[in-house]
A and B are shown apart, each in its own frame.
Chain A
Amino acid sequence: MSRALALLATLVVTGGLYAAMAPGSVAQDSTDSTAVEAGRELYEQSCISCHGANLEGVSDRGPSLIGVGEASVFFQVSTGRMPLARQEAQANRGPVVFTDDEIDQLMAYIQANGGGPTLPSGDLRDGDLSAGGELFRLNCASCHNFAGRGGALSSGKNAPNLSEASDLQMYAAMLTGPSNMPVFGDNQLTPEEKRAIINYVQTLDESTDPGGLSIGRAGPVPEGVVIWLLGMGVLLIGVFWIGSKA
């Protein structure tokens, strides 16, 4: 009996300590439960048909949301990928359907019922720029292109252009691996390394093009096309003009 009491006491203390120290502190508790309730209503209106009544997913429609966490919800909903208008090769960035408050409520609901990775806070560009560049080329550039301009994948899917993504969206994407993107957990890319990558991508996006027109920054292919069509066109017009009789 005393052993059971001791166990109970330990559990209570541990639980209390966890509640006191866990992110999303105790002060928010009263608003949290209303947020979860509001989130449930939104979920039942917009998400339930594909993700199921208990976040368990519906086969051939939508995956289970257990364990995806608020980070995944934030990424999918704040980029307008969810709610999905129709089933296609992959969900693409689109107009955002929910307000910021509603996204918070949905996040609270999924986090409370499914658990999973949570969003970071603070300055997400606080990282070493050159290390970020190295990590980006090693881990990201194969799909997202060396300038973060995205690229094609198999069967109509694509790795999106990163120029529209916010710091938090990039962080959430690395953390959760949305759609076909591999997951980069905190033991694989530390939060510091993630911030370095975000700093690099956003810096790259904000930098000017001292060479003139960037032509999408997608590399030698568009540059070659422009040289062929425009350069050769102008040259041909010049040749015809010189050769024509006065």
Chain B
Amino acid sequence: MTVDVPADLSPELNFDTLPPEVRQLKEDARRFAQETVKPLVQQLDQAPAEDFDWDVMRRGHEIGLTRAAVPTDYGGLGLGMLGVATALEEVAAVCPGTALVFGATMLGQAPLLLSGDPRLQARYLPLFSGDEPVLACNAVTEEDAGCDLIIPANAPHARNVMTARRDGDQYVLTGRKRFITNARFAAFASVFANMEGSPGATGLTSFIVPLNLPGVVRGPVADKMGYRACLGSELEFHEVRVPAENMIGGEGEGMPINMAQSNMARAAVAGISTGVARGALEQAVAWAGERVQGGELLRRHQFTAAKLADMTAKVDAARLLYLHAANTVDTQLPPPAYEPAVAKLFADRAAVDVADAALSLVGARGYLRSYGVEKMLRDAYGTRIYEGTPEVLALTITESLYAEDDAE
């Protein structure tokens, strides 16, 4: 699989020298994670499902985490997925849930970024550059339709998909979305609905929907196993009237837009998974460096050393893959499917494997909630689900292996 990236556009391809502005955000994100999030991480994890810490968001917003991908003309950092992914790794190494609040906001912005529509962009993107943090969300998943809305071949078979119908200069949206990160507080959602009369999801269409419109109901927050610092909930749309100009890309063009945004997001989510793995590794390294058994530090026991080495290799490999994927996504439109899928598949597996190994190394203490290792394992399982399960990613990767080169 070759990628045609002009060499002079990608001096950072050696991955040792990130662009200075990306490096700056990464350093800011590391400081934010260590100084603001880390002291609160246990509290964020063990609070009731509905609790949300706006002070943490405010600090993240101050360094630009809510607008890293927003063009500079609208007050953003204009950094692309390389900036987003590297920053999210830093935050996820401490608290993946906090990282996902910012990641989901970026995903909510993605259709706007792809729209190229100056009116829509001017209306919604500056929201993220104010004094207070503003969140966005992306509403795809439904009760009966998960993979059916992200695999084109499944679209005709999708059932009970949220509908849209044109009525004058408006679209009327009706239906219900599930498992929507940030839905509780988002200012707007990127919503995907099927044009009335189109079978399954073959008329899938993308809309920007302000969540203060009449008929929008924010449902209850899901009580999740991990990622507890971010809130996932339902969104109900009861005959919600959306201006026609809020449609993105044309009627029935939602599936490719959804795939394009997913390909962008997967590079960033691979950064989160890498962060989860790194966070677990750091805890294991600290423990093995101080714990003495048999008169020796654990790290000097060969079994432990082998485990730590294996974990480290997985983290490093995951990072290289997501940096490559993010760089690829940042230099090609439409965003390619292959590199982000490979990066996410590998990083998700690394997160679970490394967190599992870390828990094993830390032993009984790793099983305690107070040590935080078990939290990383719980979070690792979450990363493996959203933005493409291993099964979906495998289909995407395999399809790329058999795809003919673009002949245009």
Physical interaction between A and B = no
Interface residues of B (CB under 8 A from A): none
Interface residues, chain A, CB within 8 Å of chain B? none
